[in-house]
Structure 1
Amino acid sequence: MRTVSNCVEDILISQPYLEEALSRNIINFSALAIELTKPISEMLKKEVKPGAIMMALRRYNPPVTLSNSVKMKRMLQNLGDITVRSNLTDFTVKNSNTLIHNHAKVLEKIDDESKLFYTFTRGIHESNMIISSSLKDFITTQLQHETFLGVQDNLSAITINLPQDNSKIAGLYYHFFKRLAWEGVVLYEVISTTNEFTILVEDEYVDKAFTAIKRVKN
């Protein structure tokens, strides 16, 4: 049987900004309880008093990662260099029996091009290649028999070097996404390796995105 506390938890988990604000004690509990009276009453299919909701809000224990744990603070303070690469093109191609063969030809081409930016991700139904725009014509020609799902120019990549053991800290990426969302930055792609985190944005967002990432680090 669902309770008021269950409903409060469901609402807060689905709205992480609200959950974080609650954990930092910057929300008026009484006002929030009144705001949640109608949705919680509908969830329980009975009338619920704001007082019961306010009591549930005060008893709610947010995840430790949202309360700025010591480990999280140390991890953010130890973020490494932030690198920006511009003049990139993103190719999205439908997976096929010939794509890997054609991709191998691309790798041969860029083997001696150490200064090029290049990433390749293969999904279940499509693959994604991000590469310096200077090779756009070559890629278009090399993959001319593949099915292009999208091609986007004027992109920039911002890469953050992550500390060791970053994969053992829950909620690390949340801080990046939260700050970028607050700054109104639209992410075109997200790329991650074990110790690197890269976001791809259209050029118009690169300055705001870089500033947002620096604020997370600082």
Structure 2
Amino acid sequence: MKTVSSIVENYIKTKPFLLNALSLGIINLTSLSRNIMSELESEFGKEVKQGAVVMALKRLTEELDFRLNHKINKVIKNIGEITVRSALTDYTFAVSDTVLNKQAELISDINALPDVFYTSSRGVNEINIVVSKSVNQLVDKHLSNEKLIQKLDDLASITVKLPKENIVIPGIYYFIFQRLAWEGIIINEVISTSNEFTILVSEDQVDVAFKVIKDLKM
């Protein structure tokens, strides 16, 4: 059964930036309730009292203060090493019967070279390869017969080491990516393992992106 509290919570959850502003306590709840009344009444199917909306927002704000500010901030402040690499190229190929064998040949050549960045991920229909620009010619050589979907040059990567608690606390990635979105950072790729993730951004945005992530620890 729909209640005022449930429709208010569902509405706020669809507005990520509003959700965060509420958790920070920087929004006037009375003004907000006045602005969203018509949408809430449409969802509820009948008249809603503004006082009930304000109370629902107040309860939600208190819950968010705990869920977001206390639990997530504890993990964020324990972020470990942040590593930045520049001069990268991002390739996206279509998955095929031969692409993995060609990729294995590429890896074999790259392993013989010092200080070369390489990472890869595979989706259902695409395979992504990120390498140091210095070995672009090897990618072009080994995967010349594969279908190239996209190639992006002049990228930089930021790799973030996360504390082990990140896998049991919801919202860690949301919290970080929201801050990057606020600064207008365009993320070209996201590659993650259990306790670290790497984002790819253009080289002209890497300084801002690094500062955003570093400042989260303060």
TM-score (norm. length: structure 2): 0.92
Q: What is the match of residue 83 of structure 1?
A: 83
Q: What is the match of residue 190 of structure 1?
A: 190
Distance 1:166 1:208 in 2: 24
Q: What is the match of residue 29 of structure 1?
A: 29
Aligned residue pairs: how many? 216
**Equivalent residue of 1:97, what SS?**
coil
CA deviations on 1:147-189 (whole Å, 9 max, x unpaired) are 1110000100011112233212222212211211111111111
What residue identity is the alignment partner of 1:7? I
Q: What is the match of residue 8 of structure 1?
A: 8
Q: What is the match of residue 62 of structure 1?
A: 64
1:189 and 1:199 in contact (8 A); partners too: yes
1:175 and 1:216 in contact (8 A); partners too: no
Deviation at 1:10, TM superposition (A): 0.6
1:93 and 1:127 in contact (8 A); partners too: yes
Deviation at 1:140, TM superposition (A): 1.4
CA deviations on 1:82-104 (whole Å, 9 max, x unpaired) are 11100100000000000111011
CA deviations on 1:123-155 (whole Å, 9 max, x unpaired) are 111100000111112211211111111000010
Q: What is the match of residue 50 of structure 2?
A: 50
2:75 and 2:165 in contact (8 A); partners too: no
Distance 1:210 1:168 in 2: 25
Q: What is the match of residue 163 of structure 1?
A: 163
Distance 1:149 1:24 in 2: 42
In structure 2, the gaps of 5 or more residues are none
Distance 1:37 1:108 in 2: 62
- Aligned residues: CA RMSD: 1.6
TM-score (norm. length: structure 1): 0.92
1:206 equivalenced with 2:206 (yes/no) = yes
Q: What is the match of residue 138 of structure 2?
A: 138
Distance 1:6 1:85 in 2: 45
Distance 2:65 2:148 in 1: 42
**Equivalent residue of 1:62, what SS?**
helix
Distance 2:64 2:80 in 1: 28
In structure 1, the gaps of 5 or more residues are none
**Equivalent residue of 2:64, what SS?**
coil
1:72–1:47 Cα change, 3 Å: closer
CA deviations on 1:10-68 (whole Å, 9 max, x unpaired) are 111112322232233221111000011111112123332322211221232337431x2
Q: What is the match of residue 128 of structure 2?
A: 128
Distance 2:55 2:169 in 1: 31
**Equivalent residue of 2:205, what SS?**
helix
